[in-house]
Amino acid sequence: MRADAGFVRSQLGREPGDFYPLAVGNQWTYEFKVIYEFPGPDGSVVERWEENLEQRYSIDCSFQAGGHEWFIQRIQHPGGTNVLRALYQDRNGLHGLEELSRTNDPCGSGSVSGRLSVEELQYPLTRGSTWVVRQYPNVLPTVVTVEAHEVIETPAGRFPAVRLRVEEPDPEAGETHFAWYGREGLLAIEIRSDPVFFVPYGRVVRISRSIRLKSTNVRGALTSTTARPGLR
Q: Is position 232 within any domain? A: no
Instruction: Report long-range pairs for 120-124 (Cβ below 8 Å, ≥24 apart).
Output: 120/20, 120/87, 120/93, 120/94, 120/95, 120/96, 121/19, 121/20, 121/93, 121/94, 121/181, 122/92, 122/93, 123/16, 123/17, 123/19, 123/91, 123/92, 123/93, 124/13, 124/16
The answer to whether residue 152 sits within a structural domain is yes
pLDDT for res 224: 36
- Cis peptide leading into residue 124 (ω within 30°): yes
Look up the pTM and report it.
Answer: 0.81
CB 7 within 8 A of CB 160: yes
pLDDT in tens, 83-101: 888 999 999 999 998 877 6
Task: Report strand pairing: 157-167 vs 175-182.
Answer: antiparallel
SS (H, E, C) 136-183: CCCCCCEEEEEEEEEEEEECCEEEEEEEEEEECCCHHHCEEEEEEEEC
226 falls within a domain: no
Structural domain range at position 158: 5-217
The pLDDT, as a whole number, for residue 92 is 93
Closest by Cα among 100, 104, 103, 144 to 123: 144
> Does any domain span residue 224?
no
In a domain, 228, yes or no: no
| Model pLDDT, residue 77 | 83
Contact 126, 162 (CB under 8 A): no
Closest C-alpha to 185, from 158, 161, 164, 155:
161
Inside any domain, residue 222: no
CATH number of residue 89's parent domain: 2.40.360
Beta-bridge mates of residue 70: 63
Phi and psi at residue 16, to the nearest 5°: -60, -20
Domain assignment present for residue 91? The answer is yes
pLDDT number for residue 16: 59
* 126 in any annotated domain: yes
CB 212 within 8 A of CB 30: yes
Output the pLDDT for position 226. 38
- The number of folded domains in the chain is 1
List, for the chain, all residue ranges whose pLDDT scores fall below the cut of 50: 1-3, 222-232
**What is the model's pLDDT at position 232?**
22
Q: What pLDDT is recorded for position 4? A: 53
